[in-house]
Each structure stands twice: as C-alpha cells, then as structure tokens.
Structure 1
Amino acid sequence: MNRSKEPIWLMVIRILLGCLFIASSFMKAIDPVGFGVTMNDYFVSFHMGFLHPLALFAAVVAIACEFILGCMLLFRVKVQWAAWGYLIFMTFFFFLTLWLAIAEKLETAGIHYFGVVKDCGCFGDVIEMTNMQTFLKNVGFIIPTLILFFNRKKLSDCRMTELGQWLAVVVFAAISVAFQMYVIHHLPFIGKSDWKKGKDVSVFVAQPAQKDVVFVYRNNATGEKVTLSQDELMNQDEDFYNNNEYVSREDKIIKEAVKAKIDGFNMLDESGADHAPDYFATDREGEVYILYVHDLSEANEKGMQKVLPLAKDCQEKGIDFVGITNSSEEEIAAFVEKFGLEFPLYHNPINPITGPFMVRDAMRSNPGIMLLDKGIVKDKWAWRDIPATAVQM
C-alpha cells in the first residue's frame, strides 16, 4: 500500500507508540542489571525462584524486544509484525499489571499477602510508579494499541526489500544488545541511582549521637555550679579543687543522632559491631575504598583477581580498604581464605525476599569498587575497570 494513504491520525498513533517503546526500552537499557533484579523479583513473587539464574538474560531479551518493536513501528519495518507484537506485548502487561494492582490492594487491606512487586520497572529506575499507576498507564496505552492493530491494513512498510527489512530488524536487535552488554560489563553511566558518583550516601547509615563527658562542680562559697570538660578539668590548679566540690558526671550530647534514610545498611564484623558509621561519616578523615560483593557465590573470580592489587596498594599507602557482602558469615570465612584477603569483609544481613538490597543497589557489578570521601561517592568501578593503584582524588 502506498505510504501516502496512511491517515494522519494513524501516523500520529504509530509514531507515538514507536517513540514510547524506544524511550521505555532505553530507560531500562541504561541499567539492565537493575531490570534483571526486577525480573528476579517477579520470579520470586510468582514462586518461580528457580529461574533466578535467567533473570538478567530475561531482562536483556525483554528490553531488546521492546526496542525492536519500537523501531519497527517508527520506521515502518515489517509493520504488520510490529502491530501484532505490540498487541501481544501490551495485552500481557495489561493483565499482569491488573493483577499486581488488585493483589497490592488486597495486601494493603490485610486480606492476603502475595509478595507482589511494588514497582513494575516499566521505565527502569528513571520513573517510579505504583502498581495502580502502572495499570492506569497501560489502560491508556492499550487503547491506541488496539486502534493501531485493527487498522494495521492501512499501514505500509518502508521502501525496502524483504531481506533489507529483516536485516534492519537484526540491526535494531544488535544495537540494543550491544548497548546493554556495554553497561553490564561496566556500570550505568546515567540514571537516578542514590549511589551514583557525587551522591551523599552517608544518609543511608545511621550515625550515633556524639557525646562528651562533662563534670559538674559547686563553688563552696557561692553555691554556683560550673561545668567542665575532661580537658578543662585536667588544666585546673589545686585552688580549684579546694574551692569547689564535685557534684556529678554527665554525658553531654555534642551532635544529635542521625537516623538512616533507609534502615538496613550496616557493616557487621564477627562480633556484631557495626562499622558503617565509621566509613560513611561526613567528618571522617581520609578516603576509603569499599569492595561490594552482594553474593560471594556469584562473584566473578577474574574480578576478584583485579581487586587484590588495589587492596595491596591501599594497604601500602595507608588508605582504608574494606569489603561488604550480603552472604553469610560462613561464606565470608571461606571466601577470605580462598582469595587470601587481608582486609576486613563485613556482613550486611538481609531478608532474601524483602531486602532491602542496598549492597546490590549500591553496586551493579559483582564485584565492584566504590571510593568514598566524607560520605560522598567520589568514583565507582565495575570489576573490569578497577584501577591497579589507588586513585588520587
């Protein structure tokens, strides 16, 4: 059919839907590991946890399919196939998000707990939406999808041969997959992560109140009380003690305690002591390199071999180098022995179902390195990009 016969209103719908899918796929493609996490959440929610090893693969395929369909529709490549693809895609997610919206309402009402995913991840981490908002969004999008599908005979392919169009589809797929592979092998370079370079991540760690011991004395003649710090008390002469009587010792709060933005991020040693406030404090002196390995059993061994030279260089230069993982203490002990680690590897215990998965959110690479200075993320590296020596910031 001749291109000129495509109605203007149908062209507008086609272009808008094409751009929608391309934009949506791009928002997920900038962090495919994050969307893989969402896919795994879906698997767990639907009692298909055995599919966990396929979560990232499923994410890459889903993102690529969405991008391919968007490009096919926008550039009129195999547009009849694209119309069918849109219908299948939108119908599936229409009913999925309908179920999520209903299930979440039932959970909120206390009727039944389904463990539903709270954010569908339709737009990655760029735009967060509740399940009800996502469902309403899909209601709005499925209407033009149906209009497009039932008027698909009015759409014509671009002026390319059959082979040329299929080659174009392959190119669309290659672009999406190549882009995602780059991000997976390195780190997301754009996005709204709370742990990206330049962010103040001290807000995720509870800071205890800072206290100072003060001593209260009463003047023997006037009865007036005087409060002295320990240093001030040490500087007093004998006359002070002769003329003043000790009353009490008190703890004076110098700095109020700070509550964490999200509970659950800690760095526990074998005794259960939390070292996170030490490394994330805004008044901390000196930088600290933190190794993130959210799952020791899945840590890339080549990556760990790249970590060791940096850890050794930090040790020689007197720079703190520590690690954190969600794995168990038994796994930590075996991991430390396997790689001969000479730095502390702390434990961040989490609920494997509900999280919070802050170690995984902080670093998409497993393993990966983060450089902190006074609670600010100065730099981050996936294991392939880890420098061999400490970087001077």
Structure 2
Amino acid sequence: MKNSFIWFCRIAVGLLFIFSGLIKANDPLGFSYKLEEYFEVFHIMFLNSFALTMAILLCTLEMVLGFALLIGVRAVKVAWGLLLLIIFFGFLTFYSAFFKVVQTCGCFGDAIPLTPWQSFSKDMILLLLVLVPFINRKKIQPIFKPKTADKWLIGAAVVALGFGIYTYNFMPIIDFLPYKIGANIPDEMKTPPGVQLDEFEVTYNLKNKKTGETKTMSDKEYLKTNIWKDANWEVVGTPESRLVKKGFEPKIRDLSIQDGQGNDYTKELLSNPFYSLVIVAHDLDKTNAEAINRLNALAINATENYNIRTILLTSNSAQSAEAFAKAHKLVTEIFYADGVPLKEMVRANPGVLLLKNGTIINKWHYHTVPTYDGLVKKYFQQQ
C-alpha cells in the first residue's frame, strides 16, 4: 500500500511538473514578461535582460525534474530539486496573493489563468505531494539501468530546452492569447447585453457633527437607512470600493490605437473591409532592425501593387517612432498603443498581423513571415 502511494505521488508530481514546464515553454517570451513583473516587485530590474534566458531554463528545469522523477534517475538530487523549486514557487505565489502585486503568477502560462490565492493553494497541494517522494527519496529505484536512465535524462533535457528555443523563435505552438488566428478583435472587445457585470460594494465612513459618533456603512445600508438625509451625518474621507463578485470581462479590454496627436483610430483600423498588414513592434529600441527593413520592403510592394494598408504599431513615443521611421525609411503609417496588448498580439518584436474586417487572418514571427510572392498568391490576389 505504501509503495503504491509513493508511486501515485511520484507520477502525479512528475506529470504536473512536466505539464507546468511545457505550458510555459510553449510561450517563453510571455513567461519572461511575468518574470520581469516579479523583478520589479523585488526591485531587481537589473535581471530584466536575463529574463528570457531564465524563463527558458526554468521551464526546462521543471520538465527535466518531472521526467527524472518518473523514471527514477538520480532520485536524491531530483527530490531536493523539486522540493526547493516548489518552496520557491510557493513563496512567490503567497507574496503575490498577500501583498496583491503580481495578479497572475503564470504557473500554467495563459492556458490556465489562476488568481494568486488559487496559485498558492495549488502550490501547497503540490508541496504535500512532493514531500512523499522527498521523504522516501532513498527508496526510489530507477526503471532503467543507470547508464540508460542518464541517456534518457540527457535526451529529455535537450528536447525540453530545444522546445523553448523553438517556440521563442517561431511563436507558440498553441496560442492561448485573445489575439489568436481567426479572432475578431472588435467582437472580443464587446460586452454582450444582459451579462453579469462586476459587482462592487462601497463603504462609507460617517461622522455625526453634533455628537462626534462615527459609523461605517455599506452603500446599501447607507441608502436603506436614509441616513444621507440627516444633515447631522457627513461622509468622512473617500468612500472605499471593494469588488464583491467578479462579472463578465471581455477577452480584449485594453486596446486603444491612436495617432501621434492622440486621435483614436481603433474603430477605423479594425473596420477596414480590405487587408491590412500590421507590423507590431512594441519596443522599437529592442526590435530586430534587419527584420524591420525586410518588412518595410514587403510593405512597399504590397502598398504599391495591391494598395494594401500597411501599419506600424508601437508603444514608443511619437518622437522616438518618427525618428526610427526616418532612419529606416519606413513607408508604413505609424500608430500607437499600450505595450501590454501589443505584447499579447504577437510574441515577437517585430511580428506581423494580417487583418481584414478586424479579424486576424494570420500572424507571423519575423522569422516566419511569407515572401511577398507568397502573400500575393495566398491572400492579395483573392481580395
């Protein structure tokens, strides 16, 4: 019975770590953004330049440790590694939840978004499971001969590391973000009629001018008791608002596209019934300049021969973007949006979206953008 329970925990922990690492390795750039949030919270922003490398290595470590536990190789070291890793994750999720800093931990990437307290609860359950193989670490036997097990472990490490590097260079295998291929951006921004919206409770701090008595009341009590009609009672300070019940939330809620003068072009750009080629470079200071030059040549041909509207979307300042455009002789129109939705649109800097009527027809990492002839044959000739 005891051996069966150890095996159960061993399999559960191994598979959970592999799954967690695999989901994050599917989108290492997104995971690196999450690490940067933690670096900001702990005031260690100097690590930002290493965030991507750390993200890929951390995903690889999770998958390798999970696989190693399953096959029973180097059980003592693996058990220690798993224990330290889950304690580290548990600390981060508790800190996020208690101090309300990073509101999604990124434990399972964007595939399974969890609140900080859900993430912490998950880590505590996993910690209990990890303790079983840890306590019995010297009893765990490999399912292969030592030399064979080591070869399997090396192979798993190579595959895990290679997967993270591949998805970084060619975008996620599965896109869990709202800007996936086939999504209609205006539809994803709408709130359907009749849905349950966020429900808030407002708390008032009241003081009686005559007696000095104080009271704290919810907005419902405040209205029900008609105390607001009594001139002797006054509201002290600013009423506090608290979310009571989470309601419907559009998948896309923070996208606003503007020109250099601050004019809103969101509706116009997303209602174009013809193809638009959108180059997304959330940070022009760090974008791949060679890729920008190639995309600019593509934009010139698309505009001149098929009148395709070509756009550069960035979060840089207008002054910075215009200087960049001048230096690279860009022919695209330049528009501006917040960096958060731009990072969600495409996991590349730069990346490319092909839009029509606000629908994402296709999207590419700058490594995989089709040639001009390929775009013409598949899309522009059929417009």
- Compute the displacement of 1:271 (Å): 2.3
1:75 aligns with 2:71: yes
Aligned partner of 1:11 in structure 2 is: 7
Runs of 5+ consecutive residues of structure 1 not aligned to the other structure:
105-115, 207-258
- Contact 2:171/2:365 (CA < 8 Å) preserved in 1? yes
TM-score (norm 2): 0.78
Aligned partner of 1:213 in structure 2 is: none
- Contact 1:293/1:366 (CA < 8 Å) preserved in 2? yes
1:279 aligns with 2:279: no
Aligned partner of 1:54 in structure 2 is: 50
Instruction: Spell out the pairing of 1:77-156 with structure 2 (5 A cutoff).
Output: 77-104=73-100, 116-156=101-141
| Structure 1 letter corresponding to 2:287 | A
Whole-angstrom distance in 2 between the partners of 1:260 and 1:161: 52
- Equivalent position SS for 1:371: strand
Aligned partner of 1:340 in structure 2 is: 329
Identical amino acids, percent of aligned pairs? 30
Alignment length (residue pairs): 318
Which runs of 4 or more aligned residues in structure 1 lie more than 6 Å from their structure 2 counterparts after TM superposition? Answer: none
Whole-angstrom distance in 2 between the partners of 1:130 and 1:30: 20
Q: Deviations over 1:171-206 (max 9, x none)?
A: 222101111111111111213210010111124668
Instruction: Spell out the pairing of 1:1-393 with structure 2 (5 A cutoff).
Output: 7-104=3-100, 116-162=101-147, 164-203=148-187, 262-281=252-271, 284-316=272-304, 317-348=306-337, 350=338, 357-389=340-372, 390-391=375-376, 392-393=378-379
- Compute the displacement of 1:267 (Å): 2.5
- Contact 1:43/1:49 (CA < 8 Å) preserved in 2? yes
Whole-angstrom distance in 2 between the partners of 1:263 and 1:14: 41
Cα distance change of structure 1 residues 6 and 71 upon mapping to structure 2, 3 Å threshold: farther
Q: Deviations over 1:41-85 (max 9, x none)?
A: 111121122211111111001100000001101111212221111
- Contact 1:30/1:188 (CA < 8 Å) preserved in 2? yes
Whole-angstrom distance in 2 between the partners of 1:35 and 1:333: 31
Over aligned residue pairs, what C-alpha RMSD do you find?
A: 2.1
Whole-angstrom distance in 2 between the partners of 1:326 and 1:9: 53
- Compute the displacement of 1:136 (Å): 0.9
Runs of 5+ consecutive residues of structure 2 not aligned to the other structure:
191-248
Whole-angstrom distance in 1 between the partners of 2:123 and 2:53: 25
- Compute the displacement of 1:6 (Å): 8.2
Q: Say which one has the larger Rg.
A: 1
Q: Deviations over 1:243-288 (max 9, x none)?
A: xxxxxxxxxxxxxxxx98655422222222222211112xx32111
| Structure 2 letter corresponding to 1:195 | Y
- Equivalent position SS for 1:297: coil
TM-score (norm 1): 0.77
- Compute the displacement of 1:309 (Å): 2.4
Q: Deviations over 1:22-59 (max 9, x none)?
A: 11111111111111111111111211222111111110
Q: Deviations over 1:219-248 (max 9, x none)?
A: xxxxxxxxxxxxxxxxxxxxxxxxxxxxxx
- Equivalent position SS for 1:324: strand
Structure 1 residues 365-374 or 153-162, which shifts more? 153-162
Cα distance change of structure 1 residues 323 and 205 upon mapping to structure 2, 3 Å threshold: farther
- Equivalent position SS for 1:73: helix
- Equivalent position SS for 1:322: strand
Cα distance change of structure 1 residues 146 and 261 upon mapping to structure 2, 3 Å threshold: closer
Whole-angstrom distance in 1 between the partners of 2:273 and 2:120: 49
Whole-angstrom distance in 2 between the partners of 1:260 and 1:70: 35
| Structure 2 letter corresponding to 1:305 | N
- Equivalent position SS for 2:285: helix
- Equivalent position SS for 2:105: coil
- Equivalent position SS for 2:354: strand
Whole-angstrom distance in 2 between the partners of 1:319 and 1:142: 55
Structure 1 residues 167-176 or 308-317, which shifts more? 167-176
Whole-angstrom distance in 2 between the partners of 1:70 and 1:20: 7
Whole-angstrom distance in 1 between the partners of 2:189 and 2:152: 49
Whole-angstrom distance in 1 between the partners of 2:368 and 2:52: 21
